[in-house]
């Protein structure tokens, strides 16, 4: 009989240890940001032991760390109901209140938890201090006091020193010396703590010692290959270092451990930053189809569609405009939402792509006003929109504003478009020719610019008194290979008609025939070449 009792006791002890270990596994998964997997474990624990308050508290923590305060609060409340004497759920309720700015109500819950913990429950102290440190409504002195008290009761808990380091860093963000001392104590107590190694890495990253930070992130990965935050922080570090492909690759590994919507959303942002626009669209659409309503997904989607859509891709242009419209509608409901200049830039681009030029220009101008770094790029798009809508004077005004007295501010493409604007708009052909001349100086092999110089000079010499267009048309023809003439057929024919007529007037029939033959090859029905070859000169 005695043997049976001993055996039964052993089974119960083993069972309790197994459940406790399972709870710790679930807690570790939460720390590792493997929220979905941890959630499944917590649900299984609650199904087995529905009256244990810690199951509910740590499940609430799983939601809290994801930023879902309402779901976290629900489990804290349930935990307090099923086990009214377990203190941590009152800390949880207090944390939610504290984060929502209800300080007095929060402190009442913290006090209740401390009372139930008989002032010796170090986890109550740590979790309360954590709320004071990580919320916007910080209470760092109170947090430091609680953590120092916890160290007196439990001097070898590494987690306490990590939080104390966090508190010191928040208190003096320009000096991490106090924080690193506490982080070092934590890693001395627990050398295999990936969390402690990561904290040190983040501190070094903050001080711009990127190589040491990277080494520590890699060390954390080696200690615990399932520690997702190490891959995330490494991705963020690569992002800062502008190693975009590395950032994407690191975040892919993070997603293998935490495939939550939040993680996939951030990954989508990395894809966009790496100019992987097709992949950005694919990931964004998947998120939306899974029920994600984040306005940032709409932002990523709009930016990507604007980049990949050609002028004739009406479907992509329309989808991009729908996405940016959704983004602005959602953000308008958020008080003091901070827009960035590229929000207006892409809204403007998509409006223009959808034929709403005037509205698009307004948004593009907002972008340039918000961020002077975008002025050059946005000015080009504004000028293009004016050219498209044949508002040539406004296009010229935009280029002149971009030039701001220094010709170096304009690219060859800018001068080319401004030359066309002068040509079609105010018909100031000398200025038009001057612009095209800038292009040929910058790009001597660009045949199209010489064709346009020819056009501008024709208009300055309508009676062909000086044959001003001749050298420019001749140069253009020499730059276009015979097999390339079909691609620029209209320009070649116009130039050869002019040159053929010139040599006909100059009584150089052989040269005239040479140019009219080019016209004939490109357009057998062309009237001018037909007339030439019928004439005695063309025989």
pLDDT per position as a tens digit, 243-262: 989 989 998 998 888 887 88
Claim: this prediction has a pTM higher than 0.75: no
Helix, coil or strand: residue 290: coil
Instruction: Give the C-alpha separation, 300 to 262, whole Å.
Output: 14
Which whole number is the average pLDDT over 286-295?
92
pLDDT above 80 (res 311): no
Closest CA to 454 of 502, 383, 408, 410: 502
Backbone angles phi, psi at 21, to 5 degrees: -65, -40
In this structure, the chain runs to a length of 539
Each residue of 102-113: b (16+ CB within 10 Å) or e?
A: eeeebbebbebb
In contact, 427 and 434? CB cutoff 8 Å: no
Instruction: Give the C-alpha separation, 526 to 374, whole Å.
Output: 47
Which whole number is the average pLDDT over 371-392?
89
Mean pLDDT over each residue of the chain, to the nearest integer: 91
pLDDT of 312 reads: 55
pLDDT digit string, tens, across residues 327-355? 999 999 999 999 999 999 999 999 999 99
pLDDT of 375 reads: 83
In contact, 252 and 230? CB cutoff 8 Å: no
pLDDT above 70 (res 4): no
């Amino acid at each position: 009989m005695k043997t049976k009792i001993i055996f039964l006791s052993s089974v119960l002890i083993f069972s309790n240890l197994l459940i406790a270990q399972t709870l710790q596994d679930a807690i570790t998964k939460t720390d590792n940001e493997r929220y979905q997997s941890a959630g499944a474990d917590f649900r299984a624990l609650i199904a087995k032991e529905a009256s244990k308050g810690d199951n509910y508290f740590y499940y609430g923590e799983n939601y809290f760390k994801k930023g879902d305060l309402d779901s976290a609060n629900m489990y804290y409340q349930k935990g307090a109901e099923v086990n009214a004497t377990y203190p941590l759920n009152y800390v949880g309720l207090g944390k939610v209140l504290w984060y929502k700015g209800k300080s007095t109500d929060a402190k009442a819950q913290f006090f209740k938890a401390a009372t139930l913990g008989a002032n010796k429950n170090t986890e109550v102290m740590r979790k309360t201090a954590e709320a004071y440190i990580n919320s916007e409504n910080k209470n760092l002195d109170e947090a430091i006091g609680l953590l120092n008290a916890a160290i007196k009761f439990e001097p070898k808990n590494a987690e306490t020193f990590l939080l104390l380091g966090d508190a010191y860093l928040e208190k003096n963000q320009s000096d991490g010396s106090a924080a690193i001392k506490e982080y070092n104590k934590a890693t001395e107590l627990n050398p295999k703590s990936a969390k402690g190694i990561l904290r040190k890495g983040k501190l070094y990253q903050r001080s711009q010692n990127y190589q040491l930070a990277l080494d520590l992130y890699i060390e954390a990965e080696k200690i615990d290959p399932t520690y997702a935050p190490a891959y995330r922080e490494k991705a963020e570090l690569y992002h800062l270092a502008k190693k975009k492909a590395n950032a994407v690759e690191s975040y892919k590994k993070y997603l293998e451990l935490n495939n939550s919507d939040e993680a996939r959303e951030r990954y989508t942002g990395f894809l966009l930053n790496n100019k992987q626009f097709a992949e950005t669209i694919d990931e964004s659409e998947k998120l939306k189809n899974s029920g994600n309503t984040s306005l940032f997904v709409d932002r990523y989607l709009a930016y990507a569609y604007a980049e990949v859509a050609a002028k004739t891709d009406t479907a992509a242009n329309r989808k991009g405009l729908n996405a940016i419209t959704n983004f602005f509608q959602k953000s308008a409901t958020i008080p003091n939402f901070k827009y960035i200049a590229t929000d207006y830039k892409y809204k403007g681009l998509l409006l223009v792509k959808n034929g709403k030029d005037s509205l698009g220009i307004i948004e593009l101008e907002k972008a340039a006003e918000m961020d002077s770094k975008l002025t050059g790029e946005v000015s080009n798009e504004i000028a293009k929109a004016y050219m498209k809508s044949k508002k040539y004077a406004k296009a010229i005004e935009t280029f002149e504003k971009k030039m701001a007295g220094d010709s170096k501010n304009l690219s060859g493409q800018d001068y080319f478009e401004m030359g066309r604007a002068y040509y079609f708009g105010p018909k100031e052909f000398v200025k038009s020719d001057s612009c095209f001349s800038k292009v040929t100086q910058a790009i001597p092999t660009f045949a199209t610019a010489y064709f346009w110089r020819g056009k501008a000079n024709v208009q300055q010499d309508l009676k062909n008194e000086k044959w001003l267009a001749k050298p420019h048309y001749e140069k253009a023809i020499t730059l276009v290979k015979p097999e390339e003439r079909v691609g620029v057929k209209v320009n070649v024919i116009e130039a050869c008609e002019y040159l053929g007529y010139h040599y006909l007037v100059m009584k150089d029939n052989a040269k005239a025939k040479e140019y009219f033959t080019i016209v004939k090859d490109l357009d057998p029905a062309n009237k001018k070449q037909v007339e030439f070859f019928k004439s005695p000169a063309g025989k």
